[in-house]
Amino acid sequence: MIKRDNKQSSFMDADYICNRLVPQDDFYRKFREHVTPVIEEMKFDSMYCMENGRPAIPPVMLGCACVLQFYRGFSDREMEEACMYDIRIKHALGLEIDERPFDHSTLGVFRKRLLENGKEKEVFERIVSHLVEKKLIKRDEIQRIDATHIIADLAIPSMIVMLKKCVYGIFKVLKVSNPDIYKRICENIRISDYRRKKINQDMPGRFDMEKRRKKLVQIVLEAKKVLKFVEGLEMSDALIYRVNILRRALHENIKQGKRGRPAEMERGERPSHYMISPIDPDARYGAKSKTKHFVGYKANLTETVESRFITNIKPMPGSMNDGAQTVEMVKEQRAYGIRPPKLIGDAAYTIGEKRKALKEYGTQVVAPLCEKTGNAKGIFAKNKFKYNEKKQTLTCPNGITTSRTTLDRKWNKISYHFPQEECEFCDLHDKCTNSEEERRIVTITSWHNMLLETEAYNRTKQFKDDMKLRQPIEGKISEMKRYHNLTRTRYRGMQKFGLQIFFTACAINIKHWMKLIVEKIKPKKKRLAWVT
């Protein structure tokens, strides 16, 4: 039940004392004056029962506390301590000097309520919407986009330890919900391997590969026995989750080896988005470059060029391409009435399909085209071929025209096949193809003409001027990581990681907003004239 706050002022009010102690240009004073009224307009009532239960801590206070927590980079316990002893935070939250507002666990409960009610991004969205209303963010301002990686809060287990953790998770639930089934399982497997103290221990003699293979076979067979025992049971949500995690671990990592014995898959044999650890099933292997690899997530953000506010931020798996969510990030900004004419990014955002979709929304993607790699390197580019869309023909640089095509309906593209007898003896053969078939195959997509326009635009001076505006977003990402603890995830799971980046981005926007307010009230320094 939501508790209505009707305090009477006293000499112990932080407001009374802070009016003299806290300067007019202090961040926390401006937070109380400008940010708290905005968060008070949010409707948290749907997260609570209005009639029954114990009176809850005011959700507006908890929302403000979460923003300040991520602004300072505090843990829950550190935030509880700050609310008790830091007079500026007391003033920002409207607390009395001698008041202990909440236990650290209350912040975790509040975040859980936000996730359960789909409101994890609501504070961020409300702040952005207010900035648009106050015209601090222009609706038609050019934006830039980039993604950064965040390391997951986990240790990467070996395959033996990973499967043991999955089985142990099922045992924890069965002990409480189905003790009879748990006892029957214990009689059929070597239960000593799944004790709490041994669950994280790899087998002795870890470099003896034959012993490891035998141990893995034993763990896999026991895991399959556990799955057979729980088949047909009326399972709780917790048990269903644990069972699915074990099935997924076996499916994505274990294959049928020699003599029908289970064996661990090689990296290339596994699915592209396979699970790394049951502790954080959403964490993925990712790469920011050929040499920079990580395990975790990515945060994709857009920032206005002139006002330098974050307009949107989205979580994504570490294995996903940086530009995969570009269209969704621009579309979501329409809720605030924002329609950027240009979106500036690096080569990861040059995907033709995304360019075409954003062009339909009135946004031009400004990004360098990807460099050629593999078989495409060192041969004629597509712009050397003349495409006739009406006749559905393609003409090569040597004047040979073909209409032989194959259609890929899944990806909506047409492949033009030039005749082998013509390509094999062509004077431009070595410059045109290095295929084993000794002929050139050119794929044309529905955004082919748009890419030709992009190539022409990327050779202009305007493109070079636009790309100079992209670099400052790196400073914003550096600020999030260095000063707001976004180098590593606080929580586990995609949903909770999303909550972390939403509050972090919200804190950064508020910090920039308060800075602009302070700059307005500061007296301007008079310039002294030089006496000659």
Question: Is 418:439 a contact under the CB 8 Å cutoff?
Answer: yes
To the nearest 10°, the Cα dihedral for 429, 433, 438, 441? -120
Domain boundaries, given as residue ranges, for the chain: 14-138+501-520, 159-269, 288-368+462-493, 374-457
Listed as ranges, residues in the chain with pLDDT below 70 are 1-14, 50-55, 204-207, 371-378, 522-532
Query: Which tokens in the block code for residue 115?
Result: 């996730």
Q: pLDDT value at position 317?
A: 93
Query: Which tokens in the block code for residue 324?
Result: 């995969």
Q: Match 């969205």 to its residue by tokens.
A: 125
8's CB contacts (< 8 A; 6+ apart) are none
Q: Match 């078989």 to its residue by tokens.
A: 375
Question: Is 330:314 a contact under the CB 8 Å cutoff?
Answer: no
Q: pLDDT value at position 245?
A: 94
- Cα–Cα distance between 343 and 302 in angstroms, integer? 9
Selecting from 3.30.420, 1.25.40, 3.30.750, 2.60.40, what CATH number does the domain 288-368+462-493 have?
3.30.420
Q: pLDDT value at position 378?
A: 61
Q: Match 């690899």 to its residue by tokens.
A: 293
Q: pLDDT value at position 246?
A: 94
Q: pLDDT value at position 77?
A: 95
- Cα–Cα distance between 202 and 223 in angstroms, integer? 16
Q: pLDDT value at position 524?
A: 62
Q: pLDDT value at position 145?
A: 95
Q: pLDDT value at position 1?
A: 47
Q: pLDDT value at position 522?
A: 67
Predicted TM-score of the model (pTM): 0.88
